[in-house]
Amino acid sequence: MQFIDLKAQYRALKTEINANIQSVLDSAQFIGGVYVKELEAQLAAFTGRKHCITCANGTDALQLAFMAAGVGEGDAVFCPDMTFISSTEPAKMFGAASVFCEILPDTYCLDPRSLERQIQAVLAEGRLTPKAVVAVDILGNPCDYDAIAPICGKYGLTLIEDAAQSFGAVYKGKRACAFGHIATTSFFPAKPLGCYGDGGAVFTDDDDLDKLFRSLCVHGKGPGGKYDNIRVGMNSRLDNLQAAVLLPKLKALRDYELDARQTAAGRYSAAFAGKLVTPFVAEGCVSAWAQYALLAKDTAQRDKIVAHLTEKGVPNMIYYPKPQHTLPVFRDDPSYGEVFLNANDYCARTFSLPMHPYLTEAEQAEVIQAVLEGANL
């Protein structure tokens, strides 16, 4: 059994993926090309965004977003405590501070009230300038954008949706990547929409930002092309081979993979209801189920379950073992010494089970049995 079964997906899509890869090889068009163009158009249409600009990976997508937001020395970037390092790492490279916020106890996403408190604390201290908010759709579950967007508006902050884990998710009728001034995603192989290497994208409805991103991705190119450099940029592009792989995968995600993820998550939740804390998806939302995470009653029970799963050959992971604000890299940032009870509690009890669209009922039965045995339930 695989934690995320990329081989099963390849078997299902082999004919289309192989044909696309072969056609890239025949065309020898590796950087840019027809598949990149077609993919950007389809990603924009699927997410309901005016513009999609692909790039080299999800971390670069966030870096591009911070560059567009003008994040620099002395700025504060706000972010939930439960995420992967990429959410604010690129902002720190520009000399900004990461200010972490508490997570909600049910969705594990950014707590809007904690966000506002942290913004006010930074303003009261007067040392840093609040600049941007990174709202992370953690585990595939979308944030409460109706609560977060007005706070960003009130304080004049750029809202960035980090949708690396939530591609395909829905919040009140709109797809993930449709929120904030800028949204970013990742096509790392294990993400809900993954390529066969690294890849990422930024999304926006703003025509000027679209032009800026296309310049930033190619060494700050100007109207005269890539030798007419008008700003400092990056070399961050998705290659044609990756786009060729992503197109059939996007079709599969749309046609049946998202549904298959819902079915698998539903089976787990039915089996664990009342026994362990099952994932909560808010009314009007659909998770992309990047991960299926349960909470045990305490760390001791979690560790027993995880040990039993490993002994039985059932793959498992902990996303994530530590809250961001406690990581040594953030030792000089304002939230380093703070305590976020929900984030602490989540880290102490969480564990994730195999989750992907090709998971069979028999495999799930095996996982469920091993979890319940490990938990002594």
Residues that bind ligand PLP (CB under 6 A): 57-59, 83-84, 86-87, 136, 162, 164-165, 186, 188, 198, 200
Pick between residue 87 and residue 98 the one whose CB is nearest to ligand PLP. Answer: 87
- For ligand PLP, the closer CB: 143 or 276: 143
Residue 175 or residue 308: which is nearer to ligand PLP going by CB? 175
87 vs 335 by CB, closer to ligand PLP: 87
**Nearest-CB residue to ligand PLP?**
58
Minimum distance from residue 96 beta carbon to ligand PLP (Å): 17
Smallest distance, ligand PLP to C-beta of residue 62, A: 6
Smallest distance from ligand PLP to CB 68, Å? 17
Residue with smaller CB distance to ligand PLP, 136 or 295: 136
User: Could you tell me the smallest distance in angstroms from the CB atom of residue 197 to ligand PLP?
Assistant: 10
- Please state the closest distance from residue 278 (CB atom) to ligand PLP, in A: 21
HEC secondary structure over the chain: CCCCCHHHHHHHHHHHHHHHHHHHHHHCCCECCHHHHHHHHHHHHHHCCCEEEEECCHHHHHHHHHHHCCCCCCEEEEEECCCCHHHCHHHHHCCCEEEEECECCCCCCECHHHHHHHHHHHHHHCCCEEEEEEEECHHHCCCCHHHHHHHHHHHCCEEEEECCCCCCCEECCEECCCCECEEEEECCCCCCCCCCCCCEEEEECCHHHHHHHHHHCECCEECCEEEEECCCCCECCCEHHHHHHHHHHHHHHHHHHHHHHHHHHHHHHHHHCCCCECCCCCCCEECCCCCEEEECCCHHHHHHHHHHHHHCCCCCECCCCCCHHHCHHHCCCCCCCCCCHHHHHHHHHEEEECCCCCCCHHHHHHHHHHHHHHCCC
Residue 225 beta carbon to ligand PLP: minimum distance, rounded to whole angstroms: 28
Choice between 36 and 375, CB closer to ligand PLP: 36
